[in-house]
Amino acid sequence: MTFEHAPRVAMLSVHTSPLEQPGTGDAGGMNVYVLELSRALAARGARVEIFTRATSSDLPETVVLPGTDATGRELTHDESRDVLLAHAVEPGVTPPVLVHHVPAGPFERLDKNDLPGVLCGMAAGVLRSEAARRPGWYDVVHSHYWLSGQVGRIAADRWEVPLVHTAHTLARVKNASLAPGDSPEPHGRVLGEEQVVAEADALVASTPCEANELVELYGADPSRVHVVEPGVDLDRFAPVPAADRLAARRALGLPVDRDVVLFAGRVQALKAPDVLVQALGVLRATGRPVPLLVVLGGPSGRSTAVRELQALAAVTGVPDDVVVRPPADRDTLATWYHAADVVAMPSRSESFGLVAAEAQASGVPVVAASVGGLRLIVDDGVSGRLVRGHDPAVWADVLSDVLADKAALTTMSASARQVAERFGWGTTADQLLKVYGVAAEGR
């Protein structure tokens, strides 16, 4: 089915705003996914409104991400409003993307496990948005993460439009691969995921592996599961000459004569940066060269996570070999990629692994755990290496081997970009527009 006009999409990201800085708290690859997907859909004429929970009274009710006219000129506020409200969008015009901050519960940051208690308020705020427009305004609801799916169930039913849901992570998958001492996802989340899976008109999985997990672990109807790979900003994340890589190191205050391993992500047990710290300890204890490990991210789950990682480095004997830096904006992140010899992702679970795709697009090999979507993104032996398990000794061997063979590293760097080029947000948006149509047809 095709819509009579480019669809009007209510995009739900309840527990974290796409405008937040990825790499700390609950902000990560999903934030990038929602924002970049919305922009790519808008570039195809779709009118996208993102709804997220307001976490401060200082936040504006709505943030307008301007669109462009057919010449590429940025739309004014009045022009953006006219494009948003028009029955159809003129060819070549990119509508604005709206981000609505919906008051639901106390403004101060709530723990993610407390958010089910404010979902009714969130749903009421989302429903009021259509009341401010006109009946039948939205054509599809696209929810991200199970909390958004709960709100999406209500909105889609009220508006009589299809619900498309992207899980991003699944409780049963996470609970099957917990780090030692990590807390399992609550049973209430499992029940909530089951409800969304049962009621969604279409389920979007990032990889065939995730699609199988939805069917096998949650009983999803296979005909409603669609594999749509996330994208990468191939313009922002691109290889640079060797001279620019050295300049990136100097700009970031990194040594130019030492191997650098980069970990970019939230500091939490799920992402397993501790495995890298312990791997450095193994290298130190066995007399092999120890690279500089840069941890680019903030604490998640526990406010003490970064301090605990630094304490582990001290106990392991590598306190001077681990540098922690705060999360970086997208352009600065590209510079960090260029400064690294290798990007490491020892995650215990990853539905996709956007950092791996971005690093490879930047021409940087990735050493990653052989889990979830990382098995799809990293071409083992071609664009990087896949490591089975989380034994620090094994990780030490792999990192040592990769960094020691400079000729192979150069070859993998060239191949990494080629592997990443199959991921693009335009392709993701095109495929999702088809999913929206199929979901509408099925409904």
- What angle do the packed helices 119-131 and 145-159 form, to 10 degrees? 40
Continuous H helices in 317-424: 330-339, 354-361, 374-377, 392-404, 406-420
H helices present in 50-178, as ranges: 77-85, 119-131, 145-159, 171-175
Annotated binding site for UDP-N-acetyl-alpha-D-glucosamine: 21-22, 29, 266, 271, 350, 358
- Of all helices (H) and strands (E), which one includes residue 187? helix 187-199
Element (H, E) at 34: helix 29-42
Q: How far apart are CA 148 and CA 115, in angstroms?
A: 10
Distance between CA atoms of 166 and 152, rounded to whole angstroms?
11
**Residue given tokens 């669809």 in the structure block:** 7
Angle at alpha carbon of residue 304, lines to 302 and 310, rounded to 5°? 130
SS3 205: strand
Q: Name the burial class of residue 288, with classes exposed (0-12), middle (13-18) and buried (19+) by CB atoms within 10 angstroms of its CB.
A: middle
Which residues carry a binding-site annotation for 1D-myo-inositol 3-phosphate?
15, 26-31, 112, 145, 169, 189
Q: What is the DSSP letter of 298?
A: -
Are the C-beta atoms of residues 93 and 46 closer than 8 Å to each other?
no
Structure-token match 């120890």, residue found: 290
And the tokens for 424?
């693009």
By CB atoms closer than 10 A (0-12, 13-18, 19+), residue 247 is middle
Q: Name the residue type at position 200.
A: A
Give the residue numbers of the binding site: 15, 21-22, 26-31, 112, 145, 169, 189, 266, 271, 337-338, 340, 350, 358
Annotated binding-site positions for Mg(2+): 337-338, 340
